[in-house]
Amino acid sequence: MIRKLLCPDLLDTGPVNDRIMAVRDGVVNFYILKAPAGLVCIDTGWRPACVSRGFEALGLRTQDVVAVMLTHLHWDHARCLPLFPAARVFVGACDEPTLIARGLTPGQTVEPVGSDRTVTVGGLAVRAINTPGHTPGSMAYIAEDKSLFTGDALSLKRGRVFPFAPWFATDRKALDRSIRKLAAMRGVECLFTAHSGMGQGGESAFAHWHATTDVLQEEVRP
């Protein structure tokens, strides 16, 4: 009930399309991508029993996850990392991998990713985009140049983009610049957030955010 109030647009665990699945773990969604050779997770959720149940419901096995791409290292995004023993783990180059080092299993490796680096995992090309603001090392990822996973950079309300929890951002100006960067990307068909479900990409999703920031800039102008 509380999670419905806090995060009414979260996706239930299930397939989004034939390549992407959502898992709901309390107040957060994370995503599983079917790659040609294995599964790729964008974040991990935070409660092992719930995440294991999610995989089971989807008919998937956690040991088939070949890569985990972390948007950032907050507990609700990264805590279930140990469930994926065979995974290459990608974290933002400006993040602090020692924060997760203790939870790694012997088969896992941590690889920092910088902005605009494309990595091929399980035969799937995923581009990393640094989006500092929520945390200094926050990352977004885009798969097949059309599915954009935003982590906690932004939230969606009725299909429109807003900064995610701006009062909670470590750097609010950097967060705005990061959203501007995502807004400028062309060809994005779907946005996948961690706490407010998914929506269509494109200019209409960002139009309200542009309008809001323009108003704010007007207000601070002398």
Q: Which residues bind Zn ion (CB under 5 A)?
A: 74, 152
Q: Between 23 and 66, whose beta carbon lies closer to Zn ion?
A: 23
Q: Between 72 and 88, whose beta carbon lies closer to Zn ion?
A: 72
How far is CA 23 from its chain centroid? Answer: 12
**What is the closest distance, in whole angstroms, from the C-beta atom of residue 35 to Zn ion in the complex?**
25
How far is CA 67 from its chain centroid? Answer: 14
Report how far residue 26's alpha carbon sits from residue 4's, in angstroms, rounded to the nearest whole number. 9
Residue 153, phi-psi category: left (phi > 0), alpha (psi -120 to 50), beta (remainder) = alpha
Q: Between 28 and 83, whose beta carbon lies closer to Zn ion?
A: 28
Listing DSSP states for 23-45 in one string gives EEETTEEEEEEEETTEEEEES--
Question: In this structure, are strands 28-35 and 20-25 parallel, antiparallel, or unpaired?
Answer: antiparallel
**What is the closest distance, in whole angstroms, from the C-beta atom of residue 169 to Zn ion in the complex?**
10
**What is the closest distance, in whole angstroms, from the C-beta atom of residue 151 to Zn ion in the complex?**
7
**What is the closest distance, in whole angstroms, from the C-beta atom of residue 73 to Zn ion in the complex?**
9
Q: Between 35 and 43, whose beta carbon lies closer to Zn ion?
A: 43
Q: Between 127 and 195, whose beta carbon lies closer to Zn ion?
A: 195
Residue nearest to Zn ion (CB): 74
Helix (H, G, I), strand (E, B) or coil at 22: strand
**What is the closest distance, in whole angstroms, from the C-beta atom of residue 128 to Zn ion in the complex?**
17
Helix (H, G, I), strand (E, B) or coil at 66: strand
